[in-house]
């Protein structure tokens, strides 16, 4: 265990107030990280004054019985007994890594009290302020570390994080026999999470964040979300949405919190209810079923998807064989196939080679709107080489937003070590952005949000490209940049390849008079 000389050294430090906590960290460490015992209580005897990165780790008391001994509290902010609030912008990255390690994690405010907090009433009053756990030392230790960072480095504050493991709860107070077993459990957890704390320390460095432009919501997504919002405002009863309105978990969760009810199929919707059909489009069979169930259906299909539907119908009506370049099973593809039964779906050049058509001269081909432009071009070339008389779409099928975001991510990938694409795993356009970046020779990852970012990826990257799929909310980008600032100084700049100003009119059912 390191003494005062090591405390004044450089490099990342794991700081624990009590000896048993420091020993737990020592048992768990894998990299020889400096571990410091700072001393228990609100006036630490051996504080960390390096100005370097710091994790304050130890045990705590929970203020809510929803927490249990062994749960991990990652401080989103630390509130001192004097009322000072210290934000912890990198907390979401550490909390995500700990969750992926199988730990029960609470990302929430932590309070450092001037003295031990006893009794359910006192804990209840403190919990009412929004904090979930209490200790004595974290706020004083961070204040000293921040002052040292300002003095030694001219920084506004130390790069720091606070992690505490629950020992006692209101229902299981500290002064009882069971505290011994709860304490042992907490210390075992503290040892188990130490390698992740070391991983977090290994990410600390100055970085450049390069934002791709355009990114995030496109006009079709904005229209679909606004359609559900207007329906919720308009209807007194429940509003149902068939499938995800757009492929993003954050969008769906937000609309659910406002009252939208998401279902897979229409048989889950009570008759005579309101249902919104997703932006990906549906087949005529779905619309027919909605009519048979006397549902008030509001079609939020993206107009650019609807364009492909129209072309598919027209080609089929003239007796031509429709070949759709796209991903089988995707909702947009299912809707297009439903518009022109008998449509053949191809994803690769090999799929084209396997086609056996009765009339090779009567082929019309279309494309899913969210494909990777360069990959789709390869399949299109194979198709036109095999069927020279094949008729292509009237204008581009791959939508402007997909093309623009792919062009932007190429520009960003060329000058960064790592590209992070914000989007859900079932988002086709988001997954294509990852593939485009990888084809540029750059490491790329699809992440739902900042909490999904792998610390090992960040440890190897000094320049990070950031973009978001067309269905990902723009605030996710802001949250990710804020989280990166919790790892050290970040120089943020944008590479924009074009500007987008397209808007789509809402469905007539939800337009304001």
**What gap in Å lies between CA 318 and CA 477, rounded to an integer?**
46
State which H helix or E strand residue 376 sits in.
Answer: helix 373-386
Which residues are CB-neighbours of 475 under 8 A, at least 6 positions away?
A: none
Radius of gyration of the chain (CA): 28
Q: Where are the beta strands (DSSP E) in 309-406?
A: 321-325, 344-346, 363-367
438 burial (CB, 10 Å; 0-12 / 13-18 / 19+) is middle
3-state SS, residue 105? strand
3-state SS, residue 122? helix
Which residues are CB-neighbours of 71 under 8 A, at least 6 positions away?
A: 62, 104, 105, 106, 165, 166
Which residues are CB-neighbours of 489 under 8 A, at least 6 positions away?
A: 206, 207
3-state SS, residue 60? strand
Phi and psi (nearest 5°) for 154?
A: 70, 20
Query: Sign (positive/negative) of CA torsion 64, 68, 70, 73?
Result: negative
Active site residue 222: no
Question: CB-side exposure of 103: number of CA atoms within 13 Å?
Answer: 31
Residue 299 and residue 507 in contact, taking contact as beta carbons nearer than 8 Å:
yes
Residue 343 and residue 336 in contact, taking contact as beta carbons nearer than 8 Å:
yes
Encoded tokens for 29: 């460490």
Active-site residue (options: 21, 137, 198, 332): 332
Catalytic residue ranges: 332
């Amino acid at each position: 265990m390191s003494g005062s000389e090591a405390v004044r050294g450089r490099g990342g430090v794991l700081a624990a107030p009590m000896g048993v906590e420091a020993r737990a960290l020592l048992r768990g460490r894998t990299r020889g990280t400096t571990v410091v015992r700072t001393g228990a209580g609100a006036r630490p005897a051996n504080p960390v004054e390096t100005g370097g990165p710091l994790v304050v780790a130890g045990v705590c008391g929970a203020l809510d019985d929803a927490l249990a001994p062994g749960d991990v509290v990652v401080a989103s902010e630390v509130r001192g007994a004097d009322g000072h609030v210290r934000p912890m912008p990198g907390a979401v990255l550490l909390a995500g890594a700990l969750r992926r390690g199988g730990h029960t994690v609470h990302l929430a405010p932590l309070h450092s009290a001037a003295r031990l907090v006893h009794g359910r009433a006192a804990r209840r009053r403190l919990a009412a302020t929004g904090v979930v756990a209490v200790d004595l030392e974290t706020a004083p230790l961070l204040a000293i570390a921040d002052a040292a960072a300002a003095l030694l480095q001219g920084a506004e504050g130390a790069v720091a994080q606070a992690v505490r493991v629950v020992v006692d709860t209101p229902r299981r107070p500290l002064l009882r026999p069971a505290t011994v077993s709860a304490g042992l459990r907490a210390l075992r957890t503290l040892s188990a999470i130490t390698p992740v704390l070391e991983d977090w320390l290994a990410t600390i460095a100055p970085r450049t964040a390069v934002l791709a432009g355009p990114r995030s919501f496109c006009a079709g997504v904005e229209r679909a979300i606004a359609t559900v919002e207007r329906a919720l405002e308009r209807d007194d009863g429940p509003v149902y949405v068939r499938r995800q309105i757009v492929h993003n978990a954050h969008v769906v969760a937000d609309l659910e919190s406002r009252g939208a009810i998401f279902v897979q199929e229409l048989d889950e919707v009570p008759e005579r209810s309101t249902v919104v059909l997703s932006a990906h489009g549906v087949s005529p069979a779905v619309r027919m079923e909605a009519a048979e169930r006397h549902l008030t259906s509001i079609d939020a299909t993206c107009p650019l998807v609807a364009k492909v539907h129209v072309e598919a119908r027209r080609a089929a009506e003239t007796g031509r064989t429709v070949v759709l370049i796209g991903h089988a099973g995707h909702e947009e593809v299912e809707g297009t196939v439903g518009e022109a039964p008998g449509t053949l779906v191809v994803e690769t050049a090999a799929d084209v080679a396997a086609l056996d058509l009765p009339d090779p001269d009567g082929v019309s081909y279309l494309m899913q709107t969210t494909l990777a432009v360069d990959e789709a071009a390869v399949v299109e070339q194979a198709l036109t080489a095999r069927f020279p008389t094949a008729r292509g779409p009237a204008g581009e099928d791959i939508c402007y937003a997909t093309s623009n975001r792919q062009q932007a991510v190429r520009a960003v990938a060329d000058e960064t070590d790592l590209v992070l694409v914000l989007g859900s795993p079932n988002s086709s356009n988001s997954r294509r952005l990852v593939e485009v970046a990888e084809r540029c020779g750059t490491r790329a990852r699809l992440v739902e949000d900042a909490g999904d970012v792998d610390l090992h990826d960040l440890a190897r990257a000094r320049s990070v490209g950031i973009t978001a799929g067309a269905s990902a909310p723009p605030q996710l980008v802001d949250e990710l940049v804020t989280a990166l600032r919790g790892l050290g100084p970040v120089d943020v700049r944008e590479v924009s390849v074009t500007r987008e100003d397209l808007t789509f009119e809402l469905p007539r059912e939800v337009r304001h008079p």
